[in-house]
């Protein structure tokens, strides 16, 4: 059996998830080798995400999914309730009125706040315009903060209760329920923002069955029970390296490196265990020759334990490049996180405007490190509010790239930069810092973009001027980054695993 393990499969996702889905789809479509994806985070409505992936053709019908908590619930977490006679999905409805309380519509659709006289005591969020409850908050009359939240799945069944510290927005524990109403898991959290799990209790038949100090040990227990000797396991998440490599079955473990293993000249903590445990690793999939070389400078890992498989670009149809429809804008699409150094883009853009051009700057992304307030402050300080626009992460990146003059990247480090390849494929050249790894493997100076010395904001601004004054023609990706090259790369890997002749 071929498995892929990852921490999460978000509905709206970035490069890592996109890359693993493309790999899994390729293996099935080209070689008739289906996979099963195992996730280890908690999500009460995962089946709706699987359905969306299939609708959007991100996976084939042969691909299977399983979540760790689904397994812990004895596969009762996602069991769909059915009507008695017609066997159609059954929805549990909850009236929007609560006797004795005054209700007021919240700002979000489906959100209702409830008051006892003037005191806010409860809130309910419904799915859309239905009477199916999404969550219910119980509010402390003294602090005005919730002390308990009940969450419901798409059918209105309770799947989780969350408990919060008094006078605090920090969660101290939660209880997980299957669709029959039985609690099968209780988790405890550290008393810090973005708190990590520091205790797990597993229940069977309403009795305590096992305990774990953290979710890594829980994941190891899960893998120990799910895998058997000779299973092939791709791991795309560094968080799961230790749980995978410490389970005792003789699995063929393939670790896929999506990003740089270096922070400056130091090995990142998240990569150390995997690179120190090469005896338990069948293959390390790296994106560039340079990364393989750099790893071997620090670790005694043989050449035959590496497989070079760059990310690849695949579009359903050929794209006709037409710069006449471009909006007069630069674009960034990606995470708003510290290592992306979005402030460098904004500062370079400020210098660019001093040349007299009026090209706008549009930034698309999700805020991961509370960067948006910092970005807004800088935009205000530089008096750029009428020129710089911040948008939520887009589900149509290709169209956004197609409508832009150039895309910008100022990261401290990169993996391989799927967004760079997507931008170029749409005829949108890339201006990027020359960082490990990826940009130098993708960008050909003066053909599909420009490589810029890391952290050189002045040079970036000059290249922005140059790309407006001298637009690049016939922007395209290298053939080595196309789908057919990826097929050959994975064919070699499957042959080494004796899955193909």
Instruction: Give residue 315's pLDDT band: very low, low, confident or very high (50, 70, 90).
Output: low
- Give me the sign of the Cα torsion angle 371, 372, 377, 382: positive
pLDDT band, very low/low/confident/very high, at 13 (cuts 50, 70, 90):
confident
Domain boundaries, the chain: 2-76+216-308, 102-177, 323-478
27 vs 30: CA distance, rounded Å: 6
Q: What is the pLDDT of residue 265?
A: 83
pLDDT, tens digit (0-9, with 9 covering 90-100), for 135-155: 999 999 999 999 999 999 999
Helix, strand or coil for residue 256? strand
Say whether 323-478 and 2-76+216-308 share the same fold. yes
User: Nearest to residue 364, comparing CAs of 386, 337, 343, 336?
Assistant: 336
Q: Are 110 and 134 in contact (CB under 8 A)?
A: yes
- Minimal CA–CA distance to 26: which of 484, 497, 402, 354? 484
- Asked whether the predicted pLDDT for residue 318 surpasses 60, the reply is no
- Contact (Cβ atoms closer than 8 angstroms) between residue 342 and residue 331: no
pLDDT in tens, 190-231: 987 667 999 999 999 999 999 999 999 999 999 999 999 999
Higher pLDDT, 400 or 166: 400
3-state class (DSSP) for residue 82 = strand
Percent of the chain at pLDDT above 70? 97
Whole-model pTM?
0.86
Residue 462 predicted with pLDDT over 60: yes
On whether the CB atoms of residues 422 and 444 are closer than 8 A, the answer is no
Task: Tell me the C-alpha distance between 406 and 456, whole Å.
Answer: 18
Rounded to an integer, the average pLDDT of 289-298 is: 94
Q: Which residues contact 178 (CB under 8 A, 6 or more apart)?
A: 73, 74, 76, 77, 79, 159, 184
Q: What is the pLDDT of residue 415?
A: 66
- 379-409 as b/e, with b when 16 or more CB fall inside 10 Å? beebebeebbebeebbeebbebbbbbbbbbb
pLDDT at 450: 98
Q: Give the pLDDT confidence score for residue 465 in this predicted structure.
A: 98
Q: Which residues of 81-228 form beta strands (DSSP E)?
A: 102-105, 111-116, 119-126, 133-139, 146-152, 158-164, 171-177, 183-189, 197-204, 207-212
Q: Is the pLDDT of residue 44 over 70?
A: yes
Going by DSSP bridges, is the β-strand pair 360-364/430-433 parallel, antiparallel, or unpaired? unpaired
- The CA-based angle 7-401-349, given to 5 degrees, is 100
Ranges of H-type helices in 109-233:
215-226
Name the strands in the sheet holding 2-6, side by side, starting at the edge strand that comes first in the sequence: 64-67, 36-39, 2-6, 232-235, 252-256, 283-286, 306-308
Q: pLDDT at position 454, please?
A: 96
pLDDT 10s digits, 323-377: 555 789 999 999 999 999 999 999 999 999 999 999 999 999 999 889 999 999 9
The owner of tokens 């040349």 is 355
Least-confidence region, from 176-185, 242-251, 433-442? 433-442
CB 436 within 8 A of CB 282: no
Mean pLDDT of the chain: 94
CA distances 84 to 94, 130, 133, 435, Å, are 20, 22, 22, 60
State which H helix or E strand residue 25 sits in: helix 15-31
Could you give the CA distance from residue 213 to residue 58 in angstroms, rounded to a whole number?
36
pLDDT confidence band for 501 (50 / 70 / 90): confident
Pairwise CA distance, residues 151 & 136, whole Å: 7
Q: What is the pLDDT of residue 194?
A: 67
Pairing of strands 283-286, 266-267: unpaired
Tens of pLDDT along 419-451?
Answer: 899 999 999 999 999 998 889 889 999 999 999
pLDDT over 80 at 414, yes or no: no
Handedness of CA 161, 165, 166, 167 (dihedral sign): negative
HSE, side-chain direction, 13 A CA sphere, residue 31: 25
Stretch 180-196: mean pLDDT:
90
Q: What is the pLDDT of residue 320?
A: 58
Which is it for strands 197-204 and 207-212: parallel, antiparallel or unpaired?
A: antiparallel
At residue 417, the pLDDT reads 75
Spatial CA neighbour of 181 closest among 158, 152, 156: 158
pLDDT digits (tens, 9 = 90+) for 70-90: 999 999 999 999 998 999 999
Task: Give whole-number Cα distances, 159 to 152, 179, 256, 398, in Å.
Answer: 5, 7, 33, 37
Strands 306-308 and 283-286 come out as parallel
- Provide the residue count of the chain: 501
Question: Residue 2: pLDDT band by 50, 70, 90 thresholds?
Answer: very high
- For the residues of 406-475, what is the DSSP string, one character each? EEEE--S--S--HHHHHHHHTT--EEEE--SSSHHHH--BTTTEEEE-TT-HHHHHHHHHHHHHS--SS-
60 in Cβ contact with 29 (< 8 Å): yes
pLDDT at 458 over 90: yes
CATH code that applies to domain 323-478: 3.40.50.2000
The top-level CATH class assigned to 2-76+216-308 is alpha beta
Least confident of 248-257, 294-303, 417-426, 490-499: 417-426
């Amino acid at each position: 059996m071929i498995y892929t393990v990852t921490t999460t499969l978000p509905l709206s996702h970035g490069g890592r998830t996109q890359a693993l889905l493309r790999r899994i789809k390729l293996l099935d479509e080209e070689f008739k080798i289906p996979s099963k994806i195992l996730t280890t985070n908690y999500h009460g409505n995962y089946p709706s995400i699987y359905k969306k992936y299939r609708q959007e053709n991100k996976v084939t019908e042969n691909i299977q999914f399983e979540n760790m908590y689904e397994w812990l619930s004895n596969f009762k977490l996602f069991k769909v309730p059915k009507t008695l006679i017609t066997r159609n999905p059954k929805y549990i409805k909850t009236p929007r009125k609560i006797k004795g309380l005054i209700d007021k519509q919240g700002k979000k659709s489906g959100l209702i706040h409830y008051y006892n006289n003037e005191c806010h005591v409860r809130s309910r969020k419904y799915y859309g315009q239905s009477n199916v409850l999404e969550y219910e908050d119980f509010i402390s009359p003294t602090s005005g903060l919730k002390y308990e939240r009940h969450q419901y799945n798409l059918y209105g069944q309770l799947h989780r209760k969350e408990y919060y510290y008094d006078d605090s927005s920090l969660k101290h524990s939660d209880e997980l329920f299957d669709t029959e109403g039985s609690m099968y898991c209780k988790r405890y959290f550290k008393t810090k923002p973005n708190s990590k799990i520091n205790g797990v209790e597993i229940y069977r038949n309403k009795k305590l069955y096992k305990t774990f100090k953290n979710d890594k040990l829980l994941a190891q227990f899960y893998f120990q029970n799910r895998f058997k000797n000779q299973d092939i396991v791709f791991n795309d998440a560094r968080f799961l390296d230790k749980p995978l490599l410490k389970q005792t079955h003789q699995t063929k473990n393939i670790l896929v490196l999506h990003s740089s293993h270096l922070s400056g000249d130091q090995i990142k903590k998240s990569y150390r265990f995997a690179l120190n445990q090469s005896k338990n690793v069948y293959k390390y999939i790296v994106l560039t020759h340079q990364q393989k070389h750099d790893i071997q400078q620090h670790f005694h890992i043989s050449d035959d334990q590496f497989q070079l498989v760059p990310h690849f670009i695949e579009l359903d149809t050929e794209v006709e490049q037409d710069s006449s429809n471009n909006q007069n804008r630069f674009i960034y699409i990606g995470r708003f996180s510290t290592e992306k150094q979005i402030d460098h883009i904004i500062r370079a853009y400020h210098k660019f405007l001093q040349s007299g051009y009026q090209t706008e700057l549009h930034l698309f992304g999700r805020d991961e490190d509370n960067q948006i307030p910092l970005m807004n402050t800088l935009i205000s300080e530089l008096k750029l509010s009428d020129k710089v626009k911040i948008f939520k992460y887009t589900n149509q990146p290709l169209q956004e790239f197609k409508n832009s003059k150039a895309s910008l990247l100022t990261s401290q480090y990169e993996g391989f930069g799927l967004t760079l390849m997507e931008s170029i494929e749409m005829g949108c050249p890339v201006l990027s810092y020359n960082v490990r790894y990826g940009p130098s493997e993708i960008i050909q100076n003066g053909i599909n973009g420009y490589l810029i010395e890391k952290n050189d904001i002045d040079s970036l601004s000059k290249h922005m001027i140059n790309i407006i004054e001298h637009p690049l023609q016939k922007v395209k990706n290298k053939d080595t980054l196309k789908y057919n090259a990826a097929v050959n790369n994975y064919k070699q890997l499957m042959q080494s695993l004796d899955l193909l002749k």
